[in-house]
Amino acid sequence: MAEDIQQKLEKYRTAPFDARFPNQNQTRNCWQNYLDHHRCQKALDAKGVDTAPCEWYRRVYKSLCPISWIEKWDTQIDEGTFPGKI
């Protein structure tokens, strides 16, 4: 079990600096990466291409966004009431 934790710690990365969001408040960065992830998946799925490159956006928004926001947005996407343009 300790080895599993050690492996996770070695692979753990936080969101890198993004010059578009230089301020301390990272809410917009969270939102933008969430949208970018879903747009990337939608575009690559439409082309029938592997969506692995989209995982970078997912890792970033997972490290920046509160879990409650992600759950709410996922629910809104499923219900068709999501306010963002995907």
pLDDT by residue (tens digit) across 67-82?
Answer: 999 999 999 999 999 9
Quote the pLDDT of residue 46: 95
CA dihedral of residues 55, 58, 63, 64 (deg, nearest 10): 140
Work out the average pLDDT over 4-16.
Answer: 67
What would the pLDDT profile of 27-70 be if each residue is shown by its tens digit?
A: 999 999 999 999 999 999 999 999 999 999 999 999 999 999 99
Q: How many residues does the chain have?
A: 86
Task: Please report which confidence band the pLDDT of residue 16 belongs to, taking 50, 70 and 90 as the band edges.
Answer: confident
Tell me which residue of 42, 68, 47, 75 sits closest to 57, measured CA to CA. 42
Quote the pLDDT of residue 25: 84
Work out the average pLDDT over 11-19.
Answer: 74
> Which CATH number is associated with domain 26-85?
1.10.10.140
